[in-house]
Amino acid sequence: MSTTTIILNYTYLISIVLFIIGLKKLSHPDTAKNGNLIAASGMGLAILASLIYPIEGANNNYVWIIIAMIIGGGIGFVVAKKVKMTAMPEMVSLFNGLGGASTMLISFVEFYNYPIAESPLNGQMITTVFALFVGSISFTGSMVAYGKLQGFLRDSLVLPFPQFINMALLILVVGLSVFTLIQPELNFNYVIILLALSLIYGVTFVTPIGGGDMPVVISLLNSFTGIGAALAGLIYGNQVMIFGGILVGAAGIILTILMCNAMNRSIFNVVIGGFSGSGKSSSGDGREEIVKEAMHNDLAIQLKYSQKVIVVPGYGLAVAQAQHTCHELESLLEGEGVDVKYAIHPVAGRMPGHMNVLLAEADVPYPKLLELDDANKEFPSTDIVLVVGANDVVNPAAKEDQGSPIYGMPILDVEQAKNVIVLKRSMNPGYAGIQNPLFFGEKTKMLFGDAKSSIQKLIEEVNNA
């Protein structure tokens, strides 16, 4: 082994250690920022080492590499600076998709350069086939997820019998992959067909998924991107790509399983795209739908003289950018002796940890954030629950309506509190597209308007009360 190879391997080892340390620090908000910087330093070191000590015998075109890095890095820097917190899930989906596209293109090029006269039945080509499939799913699936998060694909794409289509496509992909590999020589036409089927499967895989299930899909697609990176690393024998991809893939799979458990879903249903509703929802049938509206001054007095208040943040809080104002109200109430906490549903928002990130941005202390089970134990002794822009995660239809798209999903049982105040712009349904019976409950009052403006008025009224 040459000295250059030894130096390169040790540099890669340091990069991998930095990845692991960074990932560990990402597990807590207090250390997440440093963890991100440490992991990024590891990636920077790996890229630098790869440029200084390139693959022996390869045609290393530094001009194209540097141009690509400048363009890609410039786009990433500008987007990261300008993106709003409300659009963070969309950005994550796009980045996932681009990572999948990279794996897909690497695999396609490997097939294109493979000697046609040789049999493709070997470990390298088996890995390449798998990488092509996973990368394609991650790419088109993430693009569909982006469209759903933006809203323009939410209702425009409807597939008949989505589970049947997904299973049929999966069988076709597996069958064609095996058939391609056992041929005496590589037929590139089969590879093109395999690529097309894989891209279509990515679309049909994500299309049926909606409602509060989107964070699970983003987490799963993130793991696919990691697996794709690991497979690309196996193709090129690059240790950093292998270990980095394994870390991302494993973390994504673990998070997906945890979120599925939190939503009472199975991982199998995720794979076949089984998140659609089981039938026609009957939410609100037979109910006397009377909405009671709250007044700022009355609510301010109630808040000021409460013993315990719990805030349930949702996507509406992100849209209104009300996290800082919410923290200001929390601090004001605590000064009056009120115990204020936050109830965080595992899939609140549009991506895993969306609400945690928003509240951390506003310097809300992490111990104040209650997970679902802990929050549900607190609600019966809570004087007021402020539901700020949340909808599906507090919808009793998940427990009562077997035809609801969210039936079976554990929710925050806010209706058990003494009083429930829902801050919304209007009575429009949430992301799942169904009405929420909570809004018409006996203990529920609606505070209509922009969440940030409404909370700011509450702060003024509390100060004057």
Report domain extents, the chain.
Answer: 1-82, 86-276, 296-464
Give the whole-angstrom CA distance, residue 22 versus residue 307: 40
Which comes out higher in pLDDT, residue 375 or 392?
A: 375
Instruction: Report the pLDDT averaged over residues 326-336.
Output: 94
Please give the pLDDT value at position 271: 59
Give the whole-angstrom CA distance, residue 104 versus residue 228: 8
Q: Coil, strand, or helix at residue 427?
A: coil
What's the token pair of residue 354?
């969306």
* CA 400 to each of CA 283, 287, 419, 433: distance values in angstroms, whole numbers, following the listed order: 8, 13, 21, 17
Over residues 220-250, the pLDDT tens digits come to: 888 999 999 999 999 888 888 999 999 999 9
- Confidence category of residue 286, pLDDT binned at 50, 70, 90: very low
Residue 401 · residue 432 · CB < 8 Å: no
Instruction: Report the pLDDT averaged over residues 423-435.
Output: 75
Please give the pLDDT value at position 329: 95
Work out the angle at residue 49's Cα, subtended by the Cα atoms of residues 129 and 134, and round it to the nearest 5 degrees.
Answer: 20
Mean pLDDT across the chain = 85
* Cross-sheet strand order for the sheet of 308-313: 369-370, 339-343, 308-313, 384-388, 420-424, 444-448
Q: In the annotation, is 339 catalytic?
A: no
Over residues 136-194, the pLDDT tens digits come to: 999 999 998 888 877 777 655 677 887 888 889 999 999 999 999 999 988 999 999 99
pLDDT exceeds cutoff 90 at 81: no
Which comes out higher in pLDDT, residue 413 or 87?
A: 413
pLDDT exceeds cutoff 90 at 52: no
Please give the pLDDT value at position 37: 94
- CB-based contacts of 68, cutoff 8 Å, min separation 6: none
CATH topology assigned to domain 296-464: Rossmann fold (3.40.50)
Instruction: Report the pLDDT averaged over residues 43-70.
Output: 82
In the set 363, 373, 392, 450, the catalytic residue is 392
Instruction: Report the pLDDT averaged over residues 415-434.
Output: 82
* CA 459 to each of CA 292, 303, 319, 330, 363: distance values in angstroms, whole numbers, following the listed order: 22, 10, 20, 9, 18
Compute CA 336 distance to the chain's CA centroid, rounded to the nearest angstrom.
37
Please give the pLDDT value at position 55: 64
- Confidence category of residue 339, pLDDT binned at 50, 70, 90: very high
pLDDT exceeds cutoff 50 at 70: yes
Instruction: Report the pLDDT averaged over residues 395-406.
Output: 79
Over residues 264-280, the pLDDT tens digits come to: 667 766 555 544 444 44
Give the whole-angstrom CA distance, residue 117 versus residue 61: 28
Please give the pLDDT value at position 387: 95
Residue 251 · residue 23 · CB < 8 Å: yes
Please give the pLDDT value at position 196: 97
Beta-carbon neighbour count of residue 433 at 10 Å?
A: 15
Element (DSSP H or E) covering residue 114: none
Instruction: Report the pLDDT averaged over residues 76-100.
Output: 85
Give the whole-angstrom CA distance, residue 11 versus residue 49: 7
Instruction: Report the pLDDT averaged over residues 328-337.
Output: 94
